[in-house]
Structure 1
């Protein structure tokens, strides 16, 4: 291949570069939105995992909690 000539195929990384990283404003927006969505997904997954491991041990699961026993 001659110096300065471009390949026509490119590949996945070159395509991602062309779409997301060529302009700084698009790149920063992509990173911020990706971080926000990633945080939401991780938070949801950890919450569901915690609830699945603690069924029957949570405050909401104990029916007599908060009630006074009759004397």
Structure 2
């Protein structure tokens, strides 16, 4: 039994399991891409963001 046969037996034999796998994979993939791009944006814009400017990034205490 090969890898593809095993994946077929586990994931694609029943439609409900296959759809659940696809939806969960899409959700996890979206979260991973969002997290990765956010970290890349922060890395490339260090010192240029609103929070990094000392005068503008501070909130006034009440």
TM-score, with length taken from structure 1: 0.78
Q: Which runs of 5+ in 1 are unaligned?
A: 1-9
Paired position in structure 2 for 1:28: 19
* Higher relative contact order, structure no. (Cα contacts within 8 Å, ≥ 6 residues apart): 2
4+ residue runs of structure 1 moved beyond 6 angstroms?
Answer: none
Q: What number of residue pairs does the alignment pair up?
A: 58
Cα distance in structure 2, aligned partners of 1:36 and 1:60: 30
Q: Which runs of 5+ in 2 are unaligned?
A: none
Q: Which structure is larger by alpha-carbon Rg, 1 or 2?
A: 1
Larger helix fraction of residues: 2
